[in-house]
Amino acid sequence: MNQISPLQQARYDYQPKLPSVFMECGPFAAARPGEETQSVADQEQIKALFPDTYGLPAVTFVRNSTFDCPPIKAAVILSGGQAPGGHNVIAGLFDGLKALNPDSELFGFLGGPSGLIDNKYIKLTEALVDEYRNTGGFDMICSGRTKLETEEQFAQVARNCAEHGIKAIVIIGGDDSNTNACALAQYMLTHKTGVQVIGCPKTIDGDLKNARIEVSFGFDTATKVYSELIGNIMRDANSSRKYWHFIKLMGRSASHIALECALQTHPNVCLISEEVEKKGMSLNQIVDEITALVVARAERKMKYGVVLIPEGLIEFIPESKVLIAELNDFIGKHKETFEGLTPDGKLEYVVKHLSPASLQAFESMPLTIRKQLLADRDPHGNVQVSRIETEKMLALLVEEHVADINRVRVAQYGKNAKQVAFSSQTHFFGYEGRCSAPSNFDADYCYSLGYTASALIGAGKTGYMASVRHLSCPAQDWEAGGIPLTMMMNMETRHGKAVPVIKKALVELNGKPFKTFAKHREAWGIGTEYVYPGPIQYFGPSAVCDQTTITLRLEQA
Ligand code: FBP
């Protein structure tokens, strides 16, 4: 094993907290059913697609249950992008299964869903799990983005389970992976395999949430890491007083991460993609607004500032959204020709085929961004937004607008005219936060999720997502249970076809987190009201170490 840091060594001794129901009865708590559930929309279609899991009741674990549990062989995969705390979900699951029966076994399938299909696994031992307790990353069994969605893949997974005697699969993933978990659960029931399927809500993006899933794990730690970095940059900006920092923050689609970081640090500008879309703002309008603030602050002798930009912004600006859809479609249809072209050749080829409105939107963007929009698509044919340097694009466009203002001033008042100073730095914070050692909150939450998954398996449930609620309370007051995956689903059009998917939770513009931000943003913009959160603390007063996100506190206030 590699040398480990003193902090990691100390974190091995951290015992994650569990809801009191598990502290008292271990995973033998009784699963008390609530009322029957229904999907968030399109009930008839979802019911027809998932006849055996639709309408199941949500369950809550309560005290007083003892039963003899035979040894269970279970499988676990990590799916999609990394999120802090994944190892603790596995540790909680492992400990829960062993508590159900010491002879239980956990198979860790390697590299995400592809491991489950290709039968690549390791058996997780106490010693191995111990090595990863309270650590960041997914490197214990690694992750992947292969889609597990076809009947052939499901059949192969069923065969692999039968070969090992595996009776339960836990899928730790985001909305897409849990959508697939739902389909896999239905397949296992239809084919009477006896294999249970349980999901766990993972993603730093924070967009897998609803009334019963209060937050996906990893959001807490990732936003704390980004907020620390933003705070450090703010302090630098406030010390040198010469740069505008444009910071893009990860979050494929929703702006929860940017919003939470804004609430933690009070930047001069934070764009919220959902608001941009709602207001139908053009790129030019966004740049104009930032430029106006640059000018206003410069007049108050503040030639510096901090702008937060959500990663998904470009897909929410109406004109760029249409452009990207056209490009995805066009590139998908002409894949072979396109792949053989140089970056300049791609540019020439594509402009001949865009609609006039999209051509105009395309040409309003700097050349580097145009080229990035034509770069490789993800496995689903979509542009990879984390690779588009929107932070650079906005900094460049603001610079051009400021230069225009200065040109007009010189034309009006001569070369001694007062000019607006503008100099920028750009940053992208994404991968820096995805594998950080989990905060105490994520360490506890993830361990509890894993433990809950084991209890759901023990209770014979399938097609459920582990749910741990009341997260702004101390861990002993958390409520553990499970919700049917079908409850979160609706029908959406993907590549021209209506398919069942878990509904993504975007930032709600009438929710408390956004409203709180909106109330203060003007003052934060023109003033310099930065907050410097500092690094995540693992030891010390609870007020410092066990804080949840501001988003969660506001949502539960
Ligand atoms: P998940 O939704 O799978 O958790 O991934 C989230 C994310 O971190 C996004 O914020 C980001 O756009 C994307 O993954 C980056 O993907 P990759 O790791 O493949 O570069």
| Rounded CA separation 16/8 (Å) | 14
Which pLDDT score, from 0 to 100, does residue 380 have? Answer: 67
Is the confidence at residue 381, as pLDDT, over 80?
A: no
pLDDT > 80? residue 376: no
Is 87 within 8 Å of 133 (Cβ atoms)?
Answer: yes
Per-residue pLDDT tens over the stretch 298-349: 999 999 999 999 999 999 999 999 998 888 888 888 888 888 888 888 888 8
Which two structure tokens, joined as six digits, stand for 312?
């998904």
Is residue 519 included in any domain, yes or no? no
Of the pLDDT bands very low, low, confident and very high (cuts 50, 70, 90), residue 515 is very high
Q: Which amino acid is at 442?
A: D
Residue nearest to atom 7 of ligand 1 (CA): 81
Listed in sequence order, the DSSP H helices in 512-549 are 512-526, 542-545
* 546 included as an active-site residue: no
Which candidate in 175, 205, 207, 220 is catalytic?
A: 205
Q: Is residue 531 part of a domain?
A: no
Residue 382, ligand 1, Cβ within 6 A: no
Residue 182's closest CA among 392, 483, 417? Answer: 483
Confirm if 395 and 386 have CB atoms less than 8 A apart. Answer: no
Contacts of 337 (CB under 8 A, 6+ apart): 349
Indicate whether 496 pLDDT > 80.
no
- Classify residue 326: in a domain, yes or no: no
Ligand 1 binding pocket includes 174 (Cβ within 6 Å)? yes
- C-alpha–C-alpha distance, residues 160 and 421, integer Å: 64
Is the Cβ atom of 319 under 6 angstroms away from ligand 1? no
- For 77, half-sphere exposure in the C-beta direction (CA atoms, 13 angstrom radius) is 34
Cβ atoms of residues 284 and 364 within 8 Å: yes
**Residue 74 is assigned to a structural domain of this protein:** yes
Give the pairing type, strands 497-502 and 489-494: antiparallel
Distance 88 CA to ligand 1 centre (A): 20
Q: What pLDDT was estimated at residue 325?
A: 87
- What is the identity of the amino acid at 329? D
Range of the domain at 484: 22-219+439-502
Structure tokens at 17: 């907290």
386 lines ligand 1 (CB under 6 A): yes
Taking all residues of the chain, what is their mean pLDDT, rounded to a whole number? Answer: 95
Query: Which candidate, 34, 52, 11, 29, places its Cα nearest to that of 462?
Result: 52
C-alpha to C-alpha distance for 189 and 206, rounded to whole angstroms: 30
Cross-strand bridge partners of residue 293: none
Which helix (H) or strand (E) segment holds residue 444: the answer is helix 440-458
C-alpha span between 500 and 113 (Å, rounded): 19
> What's the CA gap between 163 and 422, in Å, rounded?
65
User: Average pLDDT in the 361-365 region?
Assistant: 90
More confident residue, 35 or 134: 134
* Residues ≥6 apart with Cβ < 8 Å to 510: none
- Tokens for 283, please give them: 């790129």
Domains identified in the chain, total number? 1
Task: Work out whether strand 489-494 and strand 479-484 pair parallel, antiparallel, or are unpaired.
Answer: unpaired
Encode burial over 485-504: b for 16+ CB neighbours within 10 A, e otherwise.
Answer: bbbbbbbbeeeeeeebbbbb
Interval between CA 251 and ligand 1 midpoint (Å):
7
Q: Is the CB of 203 under 6 A from ligand 1?
A: yes
C-alpha closest to that of 257 among 182, 299, 213, 204? 204
Contact 286, 276 (CB under 8 A): yes
Residue 1 — pLDDT band, cuts 50, 70, 90?
low
The residues, ordered by sequence, that sit 6+ positions from 296 with a Cβ below 8 Å of its Cβ are 526
Supply 117's token pair: 């299909």
Residue 490 pLDDT class (50, 70, 90 cuts): very high
**Can you give the CATH number for the domain in which 49 is found?**
3.40.50.450
Q: Which of 177-186, 196-205, 355-364, 516-525 has the lowest mean pLDDT?
A: 355-364
Mean pLDDT to the nearest integer, 522-529: 97
The answer, yes or no, to whether residue 78 has pLDDT greater than 80, is: yes
Query: Does residue 323 sit within a domain?
Result: no
Ligand 1: residue of 177, 202, 203 to mutate (most ligand atoms within 8 A of CB) is 203
Whether 379 has a pLDDT exceeding 70, the answer reads no
Helices 356-363 & 318-333 angle (0-180, nearest 10): 110
Looking at residue 489, its amino acid is: M
What three-state secondary structure class fits 185?
helix
**Alpha carbons 390 and 319: distance in angstroms, whole number:** 15
What integer pLDDT is reported at residue 335 of this predicted model? 82
Residue identifier of the C-alpha nearest atom 11 of ligand 1: 252
Does residue 215 form part of some domain? yes
Q: Is the CB of 251 under 6 A from ligand 1?
A: yes
Q: Which ligand 1 atom is at minimum distance from the Cα of 82?
A: 4
- What's the rounded Cα separation, in Å, for the pair 118 and 414? 72
Closest CA to 247 of 316, 320, 310: 310
Percent pLDDT > 70 in the chain is 99
What is the rounded distance in angstroms from the CA atom of residue 149 to the CA atom of residue 367? Answer: 38
Nearest to 181 by CA among 546, 502, 452, 457: 502
Tell me if 5 is assigned to some domain.
no
Position 289, amino acid: E
CA dihedral 86, 88, 94, 96 (to 10 degrees): -120
With bands split at pLDDT 50, 70 and 90, how would you rate the model's confidence at 524?
very high
Residue whose CA lies nearest to ligand 1 atom number 14: 81
478 falls within a domain? yes
Q: Greatest CA span in the chain, whole angstroms?
A: 89
- Angstrom distances, CA of residue 124 to CA of 77, 87, 104, 164: 12, 12, 11, 14
